[in-house]
């Protein structure tokens, strides 16, 4: 059986790898010249970095199992991380109960409400009951207005931009529960996993194994159209030519799926067409010194146009990067917003002013190099009752399947759930 995989991100590659192990003939199409999608890497000097910052959690059993299966377990390291929060021109440590006690922007009552609601959500399992209330409404009611305004609203804005107040509480529940499961029992510090050498090692190894098992990978080959022939086989028209497959797995966003195949029933087209996405712009600064003390800093300041800064070299030592410092600037927004569309140089100039607000010592002279990456489909908008919007892996079209991040729920999308979703799709494809 020939299976065509559309999309060479982690979900597509994992599915292709698993199917190739089962003896299926694989043809995989990736529109970019490199594999990986949102998990892709870029070579800078003589080292590799993720285009968009990545790590895994101790609870990410599917990702760890894949890393072990593929032979990269020796590269996986688990390290403690430091979290911070920027609020009113000051950076606060914000990763442990002790940090919370020292956090001056919240009163003692606020701290108690924050702690109790967080503990409740970590142990709560009936996420369906949280689907019909927004995260902002729930947190305002139970954690209190000040806690919501200082902590939770900025996090939601950082992830969903102008749609922050439409997000289901179920999404925030999943975020809190996942982070709680990644903390050490000893000191409650979070431990995160990283593949030394970058997660590009995993992407490359998956590609190699697919080809070793007889599969073909076409890079720089965007698929333009899907048709189903009279014999039931699928015809894939791509930049590189026309191919035929018995089954097709689409791992691209719903909007792209609708552009590729016009044969879905109208009600199905409406269903998946109603799933909206936030876009992302991620800037990597290569610095000659450290910007901050923390690995991850969320920003609670609506005057700053990005949601967080992630200093990768406060997680992985600078010695792995020629003693340079790596700073990611995370920004989720929408493709019609100016910051998504302005030239990279203008974006850098805009960001520099705000970085100086966060760290008055910061100077443009610190910047050795910078890189900017954009993706239109970065984060599904998890609206109220989102579970009713999620399409099944099996579509109404025979032998056409989909597996994309819009189906990852109630958990937040991430590497682990991309791997898990791929496994679920493979089972359904092999079953028929």
DSSP 282-348: EEEEEESS-S-S-SEEEEE-TTSSSSEEEEGGGTS-GGGGTT-EEEEEEEEE-TTSHHHHS-HHHHH
Residue 331: is the preceding peptide bond cis (ω within 30°)? no
Same domain? For 105 and 17 the reply is no
State the pLDDT at residue 105: 97
Q: Is residue 67 part of a domain?
A: no
State the pLDDT at residue 179: 67
Q: Is residue 49 part of a domain?
A: no
Neighbours of 389 (CB within 10 A): 19
Upper half-sphere CA count for residue 187 (Cβ side, 13 Å): 9
* Tokens 């529940």 found at: 173
Q: Any idea what the CATH number is for the domain that residue 270 is in? A: 3.50.50.60
State the pLDDT at residue 178: 75
Same domain? For 248 and 360 the reply is no
Query: pLDDT tens-digit profile of 264-315?
Result: 999 999 999 999 999 999 999 999 999 999 999 999 998 999 999 999 999 9
CA distances from 66 to 8, 148, 151, 162, 263 (A): 16, 37, 34, 36, 35
Query: pLDDT tens-digit profile of 102-145?
Result: 999 999 999 999 999 999 999 999 999 999 999 999 999 999 99
State the pLDDT at residue 412: 84
The secondary structure element, H or E, covering residue 128 is none
Measured distance CA(66)–CA(69) in Å, rounded: 5
Same domain? For 391 and 255 the reply is yes
Q: Where are the alpha helices (DSSP H) in 135-199?
A: 135-142, 145-147, 153-160, 169-181
Least confident of 13-17, 183-187, 212-216, 408-412: 183-187
How many separate helices (H) and strands (E) can be counted in the chain?
Answer: 14, 20
Q: Count Cβ neighbours within 10 Å for each residue of 236-255 and write b for 16 or more, e otherwise.
A: bebeeeebebebbbbbbbbe
- Is the per-residue pLDDT at 411 higher than 90? no
Q: Is residue 72 part of a domain?
A: no
| Total domains, the chain | 3
Measured distance CA(201)–CA(182) in Å, rounded: 23
Same domain? For 254 and 403 the reply is yes
Residue 244, Ramachandran bin (φ over 0: left; ψ between -120 and 50: alpha; else beta): beta
Percent of the chain with pLDDT over 70: 98
State the pLDDT at residue 69: 98
Same domain? For 194 and 293 the reply is yes
- Is the per-residue pLDDT at 186 higher than 70? no
Q: Is residue 76 part of a domain?
A: no
For residue 177, what pLDDT band results from cuts at 50, 70 and 90?
A: confident
State the pLDDT at residue 426: 99
State the pLDDT at residue 188: 63
Q: Of 217, 190, 213, 192, give the one whose Cα is nearest residue 203.
A: 217
| Boundary residue ending a domain (184, 211, 227) | 184
* Tokens 């939770």 found at: 152
Same domain? For 391 and 326 the reply is no
Q: Chain-wide mean pLDDT for the chain?
A: 96
Q: Where are the alpha helices (DSSP H) in 251-317?
A: 254-260, 266-273
Q: Is residue 73 part of a domain?
A: no
Measured distance CA(278)–CA(242) in Å, rounded: 32
Query: pLDDT tens-digit profile of 44-54?
Result: 999 999 999 99
Q: Of 159, 250, 194, give the one whose Cα is nearest residue 56.
A: 194
Measured distance CA(122)–CA(174) in Å, rounded: 9
Query: pLDDT tens-digit profile of 220-264?
Result: 999 999 999 989 999 999 988 999 999 999 999 999 999 999 999
State the pLDDT at residue 187: 59
Same domain? For 175 and 214 the reply is no
State the pLDDT at residue 183: 54
**Beta 216-219 vs 25-30: how paired, if at all?**
parallel
Residue 410: is the preceding peptide bond cis (ω within 30°)? yes
Measured distance CA(375)–CA(377) in Å, rounded: 6
Range of the domain at 312: 55-61+81-92+190-198+277-380
Q: Of 357, 306, 300, 363, give the one whose Cα is nearest residue 333.
A: 306
Q: Any idea what the CATH number is for the domain that residue 129 is in? A: 1.10.405
Copy the structure tokens of residue 51: 């285009």
CB 296 within 8 A of CB 308: yes
Query: With 0-12 CB in 10 A as exposed, 13-18 as middle and 19+ as buried, what is 306?
Result: buried
Same domain? For 172 and 194 the reply is no
Q: Any idea what the CATH number is for the domain that residue 337 is in? A: 3.90.660.20
- Is the per-residue pLDDT at 182 higher than 90? no
Q: Is residue 43 part of a domain?
A: no
Question: Cα 346 to chain center, whole Å?
Answer: 25
């Amino acid at each position: 059986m020939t299976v065509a995989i559309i999309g060479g991100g982690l979900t597509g590659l994992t599915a292709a790898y698993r199917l190739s192990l089962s003896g299926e003939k694989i043809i995989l199409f990736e529109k970019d010249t490199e594999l990986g999608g949102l998990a892709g890497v870029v070579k800078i000097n003589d080292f590799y970095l993720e285009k968009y910052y990545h790590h895994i959690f101790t609870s990410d059993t599917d990702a760890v199992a894949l890393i072990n299966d593929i032979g990269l377990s020796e590269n996986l390291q688990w390290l403690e991380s430091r979290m911070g929060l920027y609020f009113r021109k000051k950076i606060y440590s914000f990763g442990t109960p002790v940090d919370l006690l020292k956090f001056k922007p919240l009163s003692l009552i606020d701290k108690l409400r924050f702690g109790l609601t967080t503990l409740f959500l970590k142990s709560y399992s009936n996420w369906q009951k949280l689907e019909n209330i927004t995260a902002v409404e729930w947190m305002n009611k139970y954690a209190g207005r000040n806690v919501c305004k200082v902590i939770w609203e900025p996090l939601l804005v950082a992830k969903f931009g102008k749609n922050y107040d439409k997000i289901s509480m179920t999404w925030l529940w999943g975020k809190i529960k996942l982070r709680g499961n990644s903390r050490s029992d000893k000191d409650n510090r979070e431990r995160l996993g990283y593949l030394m050498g970058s997660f590009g090692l995993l992407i490359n190894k998956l590609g190699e194994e697919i080809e070793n098992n007889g599969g073909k990978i076409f890079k720089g080959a965007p698929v333009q159209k899907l048709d189903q022939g009279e014999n039931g086989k699928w015809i894939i028209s791509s930049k590189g030519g026309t191919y035929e497959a018995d089954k097709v797995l689409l791992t691209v966003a719903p909007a792209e799926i609708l552009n590729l195949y016009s044969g879905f029933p109208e009600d199905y087209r409406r269903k998946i067409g109603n799933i909206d996405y936030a876009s992302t712009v991620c800037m990597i600064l290569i610095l000659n010194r450290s910007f901050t003390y923390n690995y991850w800093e969320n920003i609670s300041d609506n005057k700053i146009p990005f949601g967080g800064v992630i200093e990768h070299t406060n997680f992985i030592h600078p010695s792995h990067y020629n003693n340079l410092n790596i700073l990611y600037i995370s920004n989720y927004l929408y493709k019609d917003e100016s910051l998504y569309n302005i030239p990279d140089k203008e974006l850098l100039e805009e960001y520099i002013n705000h970085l100086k607000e966060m760290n008055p010592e910061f100077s443009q002279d610190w910047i050795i190099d910078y890189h900017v990456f954009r993706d239109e489909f970065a984060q599904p908008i998890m609206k109220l009752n989102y579970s009713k919007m999620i399409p099944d892996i099996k579509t109404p079209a025979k032998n056409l399947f989909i597996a994309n991040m819009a189906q990852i729920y109630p958990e937040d999308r991430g590497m682990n759930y991309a791997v898990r979703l791929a496994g679920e799709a493979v089972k359904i494809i092999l079953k028929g």
